[in-house]
Amino acid sequence: MMHTGLFADLPPAARLSSALLASRMADRAPQGDAIKPMMEALGVKIAGVLAGLNPAPAQVTLASLGIVTIDFGRRQSETLRLVSARGTLRLRLAAGRDLDSLLCEAAFGGTGQMMHGDPALSEEHPPSHIEQRLRAHVFDAVAEALAQLLRQAGVEDLTCSASRDEARIKGRSPASEAYVARFLVTLFALSAEFEVQAERDVLRDLLGVGADHEDVAPAHAQLGLPGLAPCAVELAARLPRELMDFQRVAALKPGDLLELSARPDAVVEVVSGDRPVFRARLVPRSEGRLQLDIEGAA
């Protein structure tokens, strides 16, 4: 049961750290960045949603865990879109067993003991899909809260997409850093990590912050025909071109070592088709993926 009144009337125990946002991009964000207070307000809303799940006023403690840059390729199942003429914002809540337990405790007014040691609630014997329904409920509430905050910030044409078409939204957005607001929610004896992801560039576009000139439209809005925006292009990263004798490459066979003059920190050429579009540096990521840090146009 949802107590919507608690959205505006949080229990005193709901607290939010002021140091909500920090990322490796933070030093590039303008001081007056409107994203930070908006995400802080979203944190308060989340506390309200969690508190509102419980018939009795619950002790909800909310602390920020900071912001990290995320790989959108790891996007998981529950994602919802907020669509505006200025961009599409994607949200995802962390959904795990800890959060499920916490939500069940919140909904049924437990003491933090119910989910522990009960064989009926083990992975092999799931009691029901109540956790999924609760998660969906919280997810919708948080998405609506963010939409409401964005509207208050002046984003008038924002709509929640009813569709959760994963095929359409699963794609990574490699061009965009992400703000990931991570909260540690403690309720009764349980804690769970709660995460809201939002693409940094889209947020900034939506809020109209960070532009050098206020009358300059976001880059993707200057493309012209709006229907072309989803058209996909393929970018390839190539090491610098090298000249070699034909006989050297003609004799190549498996096992041969083709020595290059480029070093690992070489400037990489990013091409679309055969046309160079960017210069970049290669950055190996901890999980083994290759990342390119763009230095500028080719």
Partner 1 sequence: MSVETEAGQEARLDLIGRVPVTVQVVLGSVKMPIADLARIAAGSSLLLDQQLTDPVTVLVNGHRVALGELYVMEGEEGQLAVKITDVFRPRDLI
Q: Which stretch binds partner 1 (CB under 8 A): 104-112, 119-127, 207-215, 232-240?
A: 232-240
Total residues binding partner 1 (CB under 8 A): 73
In whole angstroms, what is the distance from residue 227 CA to residue 231 CA? Answer: 8
How far apart (Å, rounded) are the C-alpha atoms in residues 199 and 194? 17
Residue 185 to residue 237: CA distance in whole angstroms = 41
- Using CB under 8 A as the criterion, what x/- string covers residues 161-190 for binding partner 1? ----------xxxxxxx-------------
Q: Which is nearer to partner 1, 189 or 292 (CB)?
A: 292
| Residue 79 binding partner 1, by CB under 8 A | no
- Which residues lie below 8 Å from residue 21, measured CB to CB, with a gap of 6+? 35, 36, 39, 40, 67, 179, 181
C-beta of 120 vs 250, nearer to partner 1: 250
| CA-based nearest residue to 180, from 77, 31, 73, 70 | 70
Give the type of residue at 258: L
Query: Site map for partner 1, 39-78, x if CB under 8 A?
Result: ------------------------------x-x-x-----
**Contacts by residues 110-114 (CB-CB < 8 Å, ≥ 24 positions apart):** 110/188, 111/188, 111/189, 112/187, 112/188, 112/189, 112/190, 113/189
Interface positions, 101-160, toward partner 1 (CB under 8 A): none
Nearer to partner 1, 59 or 173 (CB): 173
Residues in region 274-293 near partner 1 by CB under 8 A = 274, 277-278, 280, 282-285, 288-293
Q: Whole-angstrom Cα distance, residue 170 to residue 184?
A: 26
CB of 152 to partner 1, least distance (A): 25
Q: Does 28 bind partner 1 (CB under 8 A)?
A: yes
Provide the H-helix boundaries in 128-222: 130-152, 166-169, 200-207
Which listed residue (207, 235, 267, 298) binds partner 1 by CB under 8 A?
Answer: 235
Backbone φ, ψ for residue 91 (5° rounding): -120, 145
231 makes contact with partner 1 (CB under 8 A): yes
- The only residue of 236, 267, 275, 298 in contact with partner 1, by rule CB under 8 A: 236
Residue from 68, 239, 267, 298 that binds partner 1 (CB under 8 A)?
Answer: 239
Q: Note whether 258 binds partner 1 by CB under 8 A.
A: yes
* Residue 257 interacting with partner 1 (CB under 8 A): yes
